[in-house]
Structure 1
Amino acid sequence: MNDQELFYLLALLKVEGVGDIIAKKLLTHCGSATAVFETKSSQMASIDGIGSVLLRNLRDKTVFEKAEQELKFIKSNDVAISYFMDENYPERLKHCIDGPVLLFSSGNINLKNRKTISIVGTRQITSYGTEFCKKLIADLAPLDPIIISGFAYGVDIVAHQAALDHDLQTIGVLAHGLNQIYPKVHKKYVSKIEETGGFMTEFWSSSNPEKENFVKRNRIVAGISEATIVIESADKGGSLITANMANDYNRDVFAVPGRTTDKYSQGCNTLIKTQKANVLSSAADLIYMLNWDLETTPKSVQKQLFVTLDQDEQKVYDYLQKNGKDLLDTVALQCDFPIYRISGLLLNMELKGVIRPLPGKLFEAI
């Protein structure tokens, strides 16, 4: 992305009333951020969700001053930029309708074709939670997963430390700009994390770690990974919000069960009881459910003769037959279908006996 387009993109994101969803609509309609500011209001009035107030706000010149300041920070600090339409943008976040238009990052993050899990939980982690988290990551280490968390107290920092102990890439998703570290006591981990991983945020250098930012950043934690793991949680908290977001994004969720009398097991137990999370008792559970190291092959299913597929189903079947088993999200992307549509197609095709599901939200043609 050239500097001019980045400048106008930053300006667009500072327009009052323009969030990620609205910004994506404007960018898709106009073709670029530069074009958004050059297009006549009358030509954008027909876009769903674009009203007269927002169109008037698009003429606010003060957004350019803010964009210029942030662009200077980006350039002077070598901040890496990921635009939601670019190849370097996290693949799974592309399928989240409210995923950030822009991500800012530091370090040496590499998400390409990698196993990724997010680990979240209470800031008041117990000795039980600490030991479970450390053992889980130690047992997963041979598979070289990326460990993603929020760099906060408690479960987050334990997960980051355990990843570092086993030379795994770990990514901290921040609730503020890259010009600071919160909490400050965790600054000692920054350089080590940035050696093979790094930090990621949607927030500008002018953003402080406000309460609402933590809730907002949780959707990145939930959407960027194959699965979200809740180690410990009280009956309310940010980790439960993250788990619910992961469910909304059609991601796998796992929770570590605990005694009913333990305060920081209540949230996990509720997730399991309400079928919002799979039980996680060891790394083996995760490995099996995500199909990371599946040793057995499902029994062959006899395909029905003379099955009739509609045009969309045939497109999906041809893709799976050519490419072999693949993730639901990848099938949706490659076949150019939204998640809700591909889910329905795959279910119908499974009922017709032409595909079969595998653990880890994988599907293959029969």
Structure 2
Amino acid sequence: MTTSEPGDGLTASQRELWIALLASRAAGGPRRAVKHLLQAGRAHLLTLIAELSEVERSDAHNTAVRLHDAGVQALLCDDPRYPDRLRCFAGSPPVLFCRGNVDLLKGSAVGVCGARDASTEAIRAARACGQDAARLGVTVVSGYAKGVDTESHLAALNASGSTIAVLAEGIDHFRVKTSYRGLPEAALGRMLVISQFPPGQRWTAGAAMTRNHVIVGLAHALVVVEARESGGTLKAGELALKEKRRLLVLAGSVEVSQGNKQLLTAGARRIGNRAELVDAFGRLDTEQPQQLRLG
């Protein structure tokens, strides 16, 4: 008589979730999990998972079934559907937990970031980013926070475009926020929600900073709408410059924020009006591919 092992009896998509839930723990952390998957291969990672306790593997089995039933799927970094532009980016996560249409990860994408307590001008600019991206068939990637994030997400969806919401917590904590509830079902169907964190992990400031790596990594260009002189938006812009991703910083006729000035001084491209924004969005596909990072 054979005995059943944790992970047995799962469908293919449930098994991907099971592996995703255990990968970082088995490998000794997210970065090591990426290396194991991209260098040693899936089979090697599975031997490490087999060394975990039966309780850990069984708990992951039950969680995988629950997540699958809730419409969640996992993209490990060795999956062909995992975007190359994120896979080659510094700090890329070993897994993305996803709810929605993962095909949105294939096309051109622009990251939009800015302050939660954004100014009136920044709110208008965030809406312009979402609208213009939608009209050009470019997916908006942002952080699902209030302020600039929400305005860019909603503007894209209301203009019949698509958007990717990158969470700063586990996907178990995702809820459709009040400001999105007036959208038609078809609009919500053009929204992909992703998280790199364990499903039950709660929001922290550190996770929000880490989440910004995914926003920058997924985007062909990052738009900074309004950055303070410190904080997550400024750090995201600095990351884009460091990793040689296109950085577009809004600097219209009204006084430019301190963080935007810092990024412009550091080498970001100034966007002074909407025509320049549209032109920049239209050139996203000219980006040169980067070499794959494994370190």
Please tell me the TM-score bracket, short chain as reference.
0.7 to 0.9
Q: Does 1:328 align with 2:265?
A: no
Q: Is the 8 A contact 2:238 2:263 kept in 1?
A: no
Among candidates 260, 267, 272, match of residue 264 of structure 2: 272
How many Å separate the matches in 2 of 1:225 and 1:250? 12
| Conserved 8 A contact 1:109-1:197 | no
Take 1:73 and 1:268, find their aligned partners in 2: how far apart are those partners? 43
**Any conservation in 2 of the 1:254–1:278 contact (CA below 8 Å)?**
yes
Q: Which of 267, 270, 276 in structure 2 is aligned with 1:285?
A: 276
For 2:167 and 2:202, the matched residues in 1 are separated by 10
Q: Does 1:133 align with 2:118?
A: no
Query: Match of 1:14, SS?
Result: helix
Bigger Rg, which one = 1
How much does 1:290 deviate? 5.6
User: For 1:104, what is the secondary structure of its paired residue?
Assistant: strand
Q: Is the 8 A contact 1:146 1:170 kept in 2?
A: yes
Offset of 1:250 from its aligned partner? 2.1
Rate the CA distance shift 1:258–1:18 in 2: closer, same or farther, 3 A.
Answer: farther
Report the Cα offset of residue 187 of structure 1: 5.8
Q: 1:287 to 1:242 in 2, by over 3 A?
A: same
Counterpart for residue 217 of structure 2: 223
Aligned to 2:196: 202
Counterpart contact for 1:114–1:146, Cα < 8 Å: yes
What is the alpha-carbon distance in structure 2 between the residues aligned to residue 176 and residue 193 of structure 1? 23
State the SS of the aligned residue for 2:181: helix
- The yes-or-no answer on 1:12 pairing with 2:23 is yes
Q: Name stretches of at least 5 consecutive residues in structure 2 with no aligned partner.
A: 1-11
Kept in 2, the 8 Å contact 1:149–1:160? The answer is yes
Query: In the alignment, what sits opposite 2:7?
Result: none
Q: For residue 10 of structure 1, what is the amino acid of its counterpart?
A: L
- Deviating above 6 A after TM superposition, structure 1's stretches of 4 or more consecutive aligned residues are 259-262
Equivalent residue, structure 2, for 1:74: 67
Return the alpha-carbon distance in structure 2 between the equivalents of residues 162 and 248 of structure 1: 29
Distance 1:237 1:183 in 2: 26
CA contact (8 A) 2:14 2:65 kept: no
Show the counterpart of 2:6: none
Residue 212 (1) aligns with residue 206 (2): yes
- Following TM superposition, by how much is the alpha carbon of 1:88 offset from its aligned partner in structure 2, in angstroms? 1.2
What code does the residue aligned with 1:85 have?
D
Query: Contact conserved, 1:122 with 1:232, CA < 8 A, in 2?
Result: yes
2:137 paired residue among 144, 153, 170 = 144
Q: Which residue of 1 aligns with 2:31?
A: 21
- SS at the partner of 2:239? helix
8 Å CA contact 2:134, 2:162 repeated in 1: no
Using structure 2 for the length normalisation, give the TM-score: 0.82
Tell me which amino acid in the other structure corresponds to 2:260: C
The 1:278–1:212 alpha-carbon spacing in structure 2 relative to 1, beyond 3 Å, is: same
- Alignment correspondent of 1:36: 48
For residues 123-169 of structure 1, the C-alpha deviation after alignment (integer angstroms, 9 at most, x for no partner) is 11111112222234334443111111111011000101111221100
- Aligned amino acid, residue 32 of structure 2: I
The CA RMSD over aligned residues, in Å, is 3.0
Amino acid across the alignment from 1:176: E
Where does the alignment leave 5 or more consecutive residues of structure 1 unmatched?
39-57, 294-324, 341-366
Whole-angstrom CA distance in 2 between matches of 1:128 and 1:70? 44
Q: Call closer, same or farther: CA 1:238–1:97 in 2, change over 3 Å.
A: closer
1:161 to 139, 148, 154: 154
Letter in 2 for 1:197: M
Measured in 1, the distance between the counterparts of 2:34 and 2:247 equals: 28
Where does 1:209-358 land on structure 2 (aligned, <5 Å)? Answer: 209-257=203-251, 265-275=257-267, 277-289=268-280, 292=283, 327-329=287-289, 332=290, 337-338=291-292
Deviations 1:272-302 (A, max 9, x none): 0222x11112343244446539xxxxxxxxx
Shift in CA distance, 192/235, structure 1 to aligned 2, threshold 3 Å: farther
How far off its partner does 1:197 sit?
2.1
The SS at the match of 1:250 is coil
Q: Which has the higher contact order (CA 8 A, sep 6+)?
A: 2
Equivalent-residue separation in structure 2 for 1:176 and 1:112 (angstroms):
20
AA in 2 matched with 1:147: V
TM-score by length of 1: 0.67
